[in-house]
Amino acid sequence: MKVLVIGSGGREHIIVQKLKDSKRVEQIFAAPGNGGIEADATCVDIKDDAIEELVAFAKEAEIDWTIVGPEVPLTKGVVNAFQNEGLKVFGPTEEAAIIEGSKDFAKEFMHKYDIPTAKYQTFTDIDQAKAYIKQEGAPIVIKADGLAAGKGVVVAQTEAEAEEAVESMLVGNRFGDAGSRVVIEEFLDGREFSLFAFVDGEDVYPMVPARDHKRAYDNDEGPNTGGMGAFSPVPGLDPKHVEYTVEKILKPAAKGMKQEGRTYTGVLYGGLIETKAGPKVIEFNARFGDPETQVVLPLLENDLIQVIEDVTSGKDPQLSWKDGYAIGTVVASQGYPGAYQKNVPLPALEEDDQVYVIHAGTGSSEGGGFHSTGGRVLLVGSIQDSPEKAQKEIYRYLKRFDQTDDFFYRKDIGFSKE
């Protein structure tokens, strides 16, 4: 079987590595891939949202399955384009991907189908938005309606901070069209967790829960990022809350999307929070989350392509999970999530049987080695029989980055506060 993976980040690298384990997959292509993916797949120089070129390549190379990683091509209709050409592709259509593409749609949808989430209102008018902030008080959450690469959310601790956030989006055009509408919602207090599920129509097959660390610096300080590390499973997470999430959130969401004429196929990601009133949805994503995928997929014992074939043909994939703890710590370029330098050489990344290295923003350098091409550069992960052992191995390996000021990483990933 020939498989194409669309995307260039850490999520795509772990998907490629998982496909490499399959006895059924003979050749893997990645478009556009990255420096690390080059070692595991054939990288094709096509951008992840160049839909016509991707379809043409899949036809020419006789690709058997395409797996879409990132949200942008999904919301632009890459799945529709592949399906129109009779090509097998795993991911939601443009109509279904709106569950991530518009925060306003997602909130209205949850309200309609009684899916627990924070109360909210949507605004395009700055004065009305500010009046609502004054009425509700702080802390309060400001979200750009559209896609903003994980950076369109401000958890404002003061009314002034909230007003500044809506000003930057609605007036300052900080996120372009994505921020031309803002969703303002109540701040929910509790512990966050992520739960992915393989979905086809009303069939929902949940994975193991994970938790990611969004803030840039230790002790959950600093600005929000796309994620600085993750761990799975989640010690202290009430199993009843996981069951509730599947039955009262993920399954109703799949059923509701079908009723809306937006039948969902692919990975549905629930970003959730345990509140005193039970789990509530912070957001839905229309694909594998990053970096949680880099700790969830290594625990999956099944053949990934077999899971996809089973799910899309109405069979229970009988998901099976390793008995261990996976932790992954992100190495980021200094300055991320703000401005940062690119093309900085990375220290040598020797193979190590106690850790795995997932590339996110890297390119391969002439004469060997790698250089940085993005804000999040790579993730170092480990699976051990205890979180402490996994942390020990990861931080042993990461010491090579302590000799340079060009990169940084959090030193508390996987240290649960429970």
How does residue 176 score in pLDDT terms, banded at 50, 70 and 90? confident
Contact present, 266 and 73 (Cβ < 8 Å):
no
Contact present, 44 and 30 (Cβ < 8 Å):
yes
| pLDDT, position 153 | 84
Quick: pLDDT tens for 133-152.
999 899 999 988 888 766 67
Contact present, 280 and 272 (Cβ < 8 Å):
yes
Q: What is the mean pLDDT of residues 348-369?
A: 94
Residue 273 scores a pLDDT above 50: yes
Residue 369 neighbours by CB under 8 Å, 6+ apart: 345, 346, 348
Tokens of 212: 């990611």
| pLDDT, position 22 | 96
| pLDDT, position 415 | 73
Tokens of 223: 């600005």
Q: What is the mean pLDDT of residues 389-409?
A: 95
Q: Give the separation between CA 58 and CA 78, rounded to whole angstroms.
A: 12
Question: 191-297+304-312 belongs to which homologous superfamily?
Answer: ATP-grasp fold, B domain (3.30.470.20)
Domain at 125-180: CATH code = 3.30.1490.20
Q: What is the mean pLDDT of residues 191-217?
A: 96
Residue 213 scores a pLDDT above 50: yes
Q: What CATH class is the domain 325-408?
A: alpha beta
Quick: pLDDT tens for 35-51.
999 999 999 999 999 99
| pLDDT, position 285 | 95
For residue 229, give the nearest of 216, 238, 248, 242 by alpha carbon. Answer: 216
Q: Give the separation between CA 397 and CA 357, rounded to whole angstroms.
A: 10
Each domain of the chain, given as residue ranges in start order, spans 2-91, 125-180, 191-297+304-312, 325-408
Q: What is the mean pLDDT of residues 47-61?
A: 98
**E strands within 145-264?**
153-156, 182-186, 191-200, 203-206, 211-212, 215-217, 221-224, 229-232
Work out the burial of residue 314: count CB atoms within 10 Å of its CB; fewer than 13 is exposed, 13-18 middle, 19 or more buried: exposed
Cα atoms in the Cβ-side hemisphere of radius 13 Å centred on 44: 23
Contact present, 150 and 219 (Cβ < 8 Å):
no
Q: What is the mean pLDDT of residues 352-356?
A: 96
Residue 416 scores a pLDDT above 70: no
Domain at 2-91: CATH code = 3.40.50.20
| pLDDT, position 151 | 66
| pLDDT, position 418 | 43
How does residue 230 score in pLDDT terms, banded at 50, 70 and 90? very high
| pLDDT, position 32 | 98
Q: Give the separation between CA 11 and CA 150, rounded to whole angstroms.
A: 14
Q: What is the mean pLDDT of residues 308-313?
A: 98
| pLDDT, position 403 | 87
Q: What is the mean pLDDT of residues 236-251?
A: 95
Question: pTM score, two decimals?
Answer: 0.93
pLDDT > 70 fraction of the chain, expressed in percent and rounded: 99
| pLDDT, position 95 | 98
Rg (CA), the chain: 21
**What's the chain's average pLDDT?**
94
Q: Give the separation between CA 180 and CA 144, rounded to whole angstroms.
A: 7
Quick: pLDDT tens for 80-101.
999 999 999 999 999 999 999 9
